[in-house]
Amino acid sequence: MYFSIMAASASSVPVLGQCGFYVEKKKRFCKMVVRSGKRFCGEHAIMEEGGSSRRIVCPLDPKHTVSEDKLDKHLKKCNNRSRAKPVYYVENINAGVADGQKMLQQVSLCDFSRMQLESLVNKLKSAFTGLQCDVEDRVLSHPVLHEELHNPKNGVSAYKHLKQQSSILGHLEAMGLLGNGRCFVEFGAGRGKLSHWIHEALKTQDYPQTGRDLQLVLVERCSTRFKVDGKHQDVGVHFERLQVDIQHLDLSKVTFIRQKNLPLVGVGKHLCGAATDLALRCLLETAERRGGTKPPQKNLRTSELAAEPDSGPAPDGVDVVAGSDSGLGPVLGLAVALCCHHRCDWLHYVGQQFFLQRGLGPEEFSAFCRMSSWATCGRRQTNQNRISLRGEDEEHEPADENDTVAGFLSAPEREHFGRLCKLLIDCGRIHFLQNRGFDSKLMHYVDSQVTLENMLLTAQPRTQSSHQG
């Protein structure tokens, strides 16, 4: 560690009040603030001359250390200490059922022979025989983001995110979902930017007023820095963050959602892999099992939707009553930007029935998940000088391939079949939504130059979407 301190150039010095430890990997000094009269922060205090306190790894989280003589005090306030689970935490409530099938580990395409790869490609082609699953090119925007999109202070990465957020809001508006008197649930919220712009749009535009109540629920399993939640303190607006994995979230047990019983709108921007399936179960399937929410079965005004206690027979013979026991209002629709199909999981996947009907099972699903990464990484060169075409601000794993894959399929072919794998997985999600009385669509909501993961999944109750048509 002493070498790390000396590795900094003579002209490189820490900022006043900043730790003097030079982080070799990041080529900069540690940014932690130090106590008065000290040269190093608590993490690097062992470098302090005359320091007597030994640093040890925290038993709750090996990513940080703590002074040995202060361990007991630290364990009481460590961010990774055990905490009581919130009332809406119900373990694995949205995990799904495997239909008795044995769960498989994610496979590597490098382990497949050419014959196996040919068989998979043939099965993929056969699965699309007679299948109607069109994708529309529909790039929209919303005026509330116009000024920010033309702000010269925004860099390339910020511009890409703004373009996506603008199009998602445009689709929400086109579907008639952007309005007050609703509960917007943003799955995989991160910093909460999408909810932020939804709120800004509803403040500045003359949208239908069904009452002053507006709920924006941000669901994110990780602690997130630079959140925008604190900017929203308007009267009548409930801006709430739930730090919980979607897999374990029971919306019907969230107190403030039960109290208002507002119609629900699900949204998400780049909801990775299985998180999309978990969100669909959380919004639709779980509430059905608990005798709760369903899509409205007739054309209603927004004011009627919030107050309607019963909207007729449930789709597919499911005998449920909206808002009876679950405390959830009707689901008005959803708009979710998809990505990272290679991170899907058969256990959580909502389209199991769709796959089984086409003679496909967990083995093929697992292989197609890996092949789906060809869509974003398939153009790269093999062997030497490999080139990734992934977006600068998106995180996508490279396609795992070997000489067998490269010799069997050209780069354009790999990209084509990768996109077919993604589309087939998404068609299973549409099948799931249709079985619950929703009309669902897939569309390219931004240009591929903005992001290669440019697919948006939308859904509305069948009668409502026909009315919007």
Q: pLDDT for 103-114, tens place per residue?
A: 556 667 777 888
> Is 385 a domain residue?
no
Please check whether residues 47 and 176 belong to one and the same domain. Answer: no
Together in a domain, 69 and 123: no
Q: Are residues 135 and 238 in the same domain?
A: yes
* Predicted pLDDT at 76: 84
Clarify whether residues 20 and 166 are in a common domain. no
Q: Is residue 400 part of a domain?
A: no
Is beta strand 331-339 parallel, antiparallel or unpaired with respect to 237-242?
unpaired
* Residue 30 sits in the same domain as residue 136: no
Q: Which of 27, 57, 77 is the last residue of a domain?
A: 77
Closest CA to 93 of 264, 223, 253: 253
pLDDT at 106: 61
Last residue of a domain, one of 55, 77, 99: 77
For the domain that residue 419 is a member of, what is the CATH number? 3.40.50.150
Range of the domain at 154: 109-359+415-468
Q: Does residue 408 lie in a domain region?
A: no
Which amino acid type is present at position 201? Answer: A
Task: Quote the CA–CA distance of 356 and 332 in Å, as a whole number.
Answer: 29
Buried b (16+ CB within 10 A) or exposed e, 439-459: bbbbbebbeeebbbbbbbbbb
Whether residue 301 sits in one domain with residue 160: yes
Residues 142, 32, single domain; the answer is no
What confidence tens digit (pLDDT) does each residue in 151-167 have? Answer: 999 999 999 999 999 99
Pair 140, 244 in one domain: yes
Alpha carbon distances (Å) from 256 to 147, 198, 333: 34, 19, 20
Q: Given 36, 57, 77, which residue is the final one in a domain?
A: 77
Q: How many CA atoms lie within 13 A of 65 on its CB side?
A: 14
Do the domain assignments include residue 289?
A: yes
pTM of the shown model: 0.75
Same domain, 132 and 245: yes
- Both tokens of 42, joined, read 């608590």
Q: How many domains does the chain have?
A: 2
CA atoms within 13 A on the CB side of 259: 7
- Asked whether the beta carbons of 404 and 113 are under 8 A apart, the reply is yes
Residues 198 and 57 grouped into a single domain: no
The answer to whether position 329 is within a domain reads: yes
Residue 346 lies in a domain: yes
SS3 per-residue string spanning the chain = CHHHHHCCCCCCCCCCCECCCEECCCCEECCCECCCCCCCCHHHHHHCCCCCCCEEECCCCCCCEEEHHHHHHHHHHCCCCCCCCCCCECCCCCCCCCCCCCCCCCCCHHHCCHHHHHHHHHHHHHHCCCCCCCEEECCCCCHHHHHHHCCCCCCHHHHHHHHHHHHHHHHHHHCCCCCCCCEEEEECCCCCHHHHHHHHHHHHCCCCCCCCCEEEEEECCCCCCCCCHHHCCCCCEEEEEECCCHHHECHHHCHHHHHHCCCEEEEEEEEECHHHHHHHHHHHHHHHHCCCCCCCCCCCCHHHHHHCCCCCCCHHHCCCCCCCCCCCCCEEEEEEEEECHHHCCCCCCCCHHHHHHCCCCHHHHHHHHHHCCHHHHCCCCCCCCCCCCCCCCCCCCCCCCCHHHHHHCCHHHHHHHHHHHHHHHHHHHHHHHHCCCEEEEEEECCCCCCCCCCEEEEEEEHHHHHHHC
Q: Residue 213: which residues within 8 A CB-CB, separation 6 or more?
A: 180, 181, 236, 238, 260, 262
User: 112-138 as b/e, with b when 16 or more CB fall inside 10 Å?
Assistant: beeeebeebbeebeebeeeeeeeeeeb
CA 200 to chain centre: 21
Rounded CA-CA distance 254/154 in Å is 36
Rounded to 5 degrees, what angle do the CA atoms 64, 67, 73 make? 95
Q: Same domain for 49 and 190? A: no
Any domain includes 93 = no
Residue 218: the pLDDT is: 94
Residues 149, 61 within the same domain: no
Question: Does the residue 402 lie in any domain?
Answer: no
Residue pLDDT tens, the chain, 469 long: 444 444 444 447 788 888 988 888 888 899 888 888 888 887 777 766 655 567 788 888 887 888 888 888 888 888 778 778 899 999 999 998 755 455 556 667 777 888 989 999 999 999 999 898 889 999 999 999 999 999 999 999 999 999 999 999 999 999 999 998 899 999 999 889 999 999 999 987 666 665 568 899 999 988 777 677 777 766 668 889 999 999 999 999 999 998 888 999 999 998 899 999 999 999 997 656 655 444 444 333 333 333 333 333 333 333 333 334 456 789 999 999 999 999 999 999 999 999 999 999 999 999 999 999 998 875 444 433 333 333 334 444 544 555 556 667 888 899 999 999 999 999 999 999 999 999 999 999 999 999 999 999 999 998 755 545 4
